[in-house]
C-alpha cells in the first residue's frame, strides 16, 4: 500500500508548478455556511432572495454519502453510535489509499484552476465563470470523496488541510472574477500573491505527507 501511495504522491509532485508571481490585494469575503461540530464551510448561493447550498457540499460537511436512483437523491448521514454499543477498534495509522487518491484528485483540479487564474491575470486571457464553476464542482466533488473515504486517524487529521486548500482556491477565484467585472484587464499589481503562494505551499505539504505516510501539520494550510 505504501508503494501505491508513494507513486500517487510522485505523480502530483510532477504536476505542481510555480506560476509567475503577482502582487497583493486582500480578497473579498463571500457568505459561507458552517455546521456546528463539523469541519469546513460551504459557499452560500443567493437566488431570488433565498439561500442555497450545493448538496455535494452538504454531504461533505456532514461526512454523509449521496445516492441516486431514478429522479430521487438520498443523503445518508453517519450513525451517531448513541445506542451504547461498544466502541469501534482504534483506526490504524497512516493514510488509506482511497483517501490519498481523492486528495490527489482535488489537488490536481485545484492546480489547473489556480494556474488558469494566474495566467489570466498575467496574460490578460479571460477565464469564464462557467469554466470556474466547472472546476469548483470538480474540486468539491473530490473533497466530498476524500471525506467519505477517510478511514484512519491520519486521514481524518489531514482532511481539514484539503478543506482549507479548497476554500483558499475559492477565495482566489472569487477575487479574480470580482476584479474582472470591474475592468477588462487586471493589473498583476492588484492581485493577491500571498494567497496564491499559500495554495501552492499547502499542496506541496500534502504531497510531503503522502510520501512520508503519516500526518504532519502544515502551517500553510491554516
As a whole number, mean pLDDT of residues 165-192 equals 83
- What's the distance, Cα to Cα, between the start and end of the chain in Å? 29
pLDDT in tens, 108-165: 999 999 999 988 888 888 889 999 999 999 999 999 999 999 999 999 999 999 999 9
pLDDT of residue 222: 81
Which residue would you say has higher pLDDT here, 178 or 13?
A: 178
Sequence-separated (6 or more) residues with CB below 8 Å from residue 87 = 81
Write b or e for each residue in 33-53: b if 16 or more Cβ atoms lie within 10 A of its Cβ, otherwise e.
beeeeeebbbbeeeeeeeeeb
Top-confidence residue, 45 or 136: 136
Is residue 4 scored above 60 in pLDDT?
A: no
CB 220 within 8 A of CB 201: yes
The larger pLDDT score, comparing residue 188 to residue 157, is at: 157
Q: Which helix (H) or strand (E) segment is 139 a member of?
A: helix 129-149
Nearest partner of 170 among 31, 67, 4, 13, judged by Cα: 31
Instruction: Give pLDDT, residue 96.
Output: 94
Give the side-chain half-sphere CA count within 13 A for 38. 18
pLDDT at 82 (0 to 100): 44
What is the C-alpha to C-alpha distance for residues 5 and 7, in angstroms, rounded to an integer?
A: 5
Q: pLDDT of 201-211, one tens digit each?
A: 999 999 888 88
- What pLDDT score was predicted for residue 185? 67
The 10s digit of each residue's pLDDT in 61-118 is 777 776 766 667 777 877 655 444 444 455 567 899 999 999 999 999 999 999 999 8
Look at the domain 2-15+95-214 and name its fold: 1.20.120
The angle that helices 193-212 and 2-15 make with each other, rounded to 10 degrees, is 160
Q: What is the 3-state secondary structure (H, E, C) of 13-50?
A: HHHCCCCCCCCCCCCCCCCEECCCCCCCCEECEEECCE
User: Among 88-97, 176-185, 187-196, where is mean pLDDT lowest?
Assistant: 88-97
Please give the grid coordinates belonging to residue 121: 491575470
Residue 129 Cα to chain centre, angstroms:
18
Reported pTM: 0.60
List the grid coordinates of 172.
482566489
Distance between CA atoms of residues 196 and 216, nearest Å: 21
Quick one: pLDDT at residue 19? 47
Confidence class for position 184, pLDDT limits 50, 70, 90: low
Res. 37 pLDDT band, cuts 50 70 90: low
CA 187 to mean position of chain CA atoms: 27
The secondary structure of residue 78, as a DSSP letter, is P
Instruction: Please name the residue that has the C-alpha cell 466533488.
Output: 141
pLDDT at residue 81 in the model: 52
Amino acid 121: pLDDT: 85
Choice among 21-30, 31-40, 75-84, 135-144 with the minimum mean pLDDT: 21-30
Query: What's the grid cell of residue 218?
Result: 502544515
Q: Which residue has the higher pLDDT, 59 or 108?
A: 108
Amino acid at each position: 500500500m505504501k508503494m501505491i501511495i508513494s507513486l500517487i504522491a510522485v505523480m502530483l509532485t510532477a504536476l505542481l508548478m510555480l506560476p509567475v508571481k503577482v502582487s497583493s490585494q486582500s480578497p473579498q469575503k463571500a457568505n459561507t455556511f458552517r455546521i456546528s461540530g463539523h469541519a469546513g464551510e460551504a459557499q452560500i448561493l443567493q437566488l431570488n432572495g433565498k439561500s442555497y447550498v450545493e448538496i455535494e457540499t452538504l454531504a461533505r460537511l456532514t461526512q454523509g454519502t449521496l445516492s441516486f436512483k431514478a429522479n430521487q437523491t438520498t443523503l445518508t448521514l453517519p450513525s451517531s453510535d448513541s445506542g451504547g454499543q461498544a466502541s469501534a477498534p482504534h483506526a490504524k495509522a497512516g493514510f488509506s489509499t482511497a483517501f490519498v487518491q481523492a486528495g490527489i484528485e482535488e489537488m490536481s483540479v485545484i492546480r489547473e484552476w489556480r494556474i488558469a487564474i494566474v495566467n489570466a491575470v498575467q496574460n490578460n486571457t479571460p477565464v469564464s465563470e462557467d469554466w470556474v464553476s466547472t472546476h469548483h464542482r470538480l474540486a468539491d466533488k473530490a473533497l466530498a470523496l476524500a471525506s467519505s473515504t477517510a478511514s484512519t486517524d491520519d486521514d481524518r487529521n489531514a482532511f481539514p488541510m484539503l478543506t482549507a486548500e479548497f476554500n483558499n482556491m475559492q477565495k482566489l477565484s472569487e477575487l479574480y472574477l470580482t476584479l474582472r467585472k470591474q475592468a477588462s484587464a487586471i493589473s498583476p499589481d492588484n492581485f493577491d500573491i500571498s494567497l496564491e503562494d499559500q495554495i501552492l505551499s499547502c499542496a506541496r505539504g500534502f504531497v510531503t505527507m503522502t510520501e512520508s505516510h503519516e500526518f504532519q501539520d502544515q502551517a500553510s494550510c491554516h
